[in-house]
Structure 1
């Protein structure tokens, strides 16, 4: 997928546990894990808004478009190039 999710990095920067974020957002830890790994096909704006509210960040801090990236290797490629952060 050409969209890379940097949720793990933001959680680490904010020193927030996935469990706490999932509870605040109102989703299961399993669904949050799927989101962090990029295995979801969509994300509601209301969910993204609650994530950004809790982490005090912008959507662009969590999502990055990597041209030509079509699979899980996009995250590794982005990390190797410095990512969006």
Structure 2
């Protein structure tokens, strides 16, 4: 997936553990771990809001788009449709 949550980077910058963040946000450690490892398929806005509040950051600091091979193939297909 081209969307990635940069939780590990921000936790490192804040010198905060995943366990501490889970306690502060009220989300299970397992769910935060899923976010951190990139296995999450979705995130609730309330969770994103709580993460931003506790990490003192903006949603764009946590969520990034990294184009991959699928995106390049999709762009090529879109060009074919225009012809």
TM-score range, shorter chain: 0.7 to 0.9
Tell which structure's C-alpha radius of gyration is larger: 2
Dislocated runs of 4+, deviation >6 Å: none
Number of corresponding residues? 70
Which stretches in structure 2 are left out of the alignment for 5+ residues?
71-83
Tell me the residue number matched to 2:46: 46
Tell me the residue number matched to 2:16: 16
Structure 2 length-normalised TM: 0.78
Structure 1 length-normalised TM: 0.76
Q: By percentage of residues, which structure has more helix? A: 2
Which stretches in structure 1 are left out of the alignment for 5+ residues?
71-85
Aligned CA RMSD, in angstroms, stands at 1.2
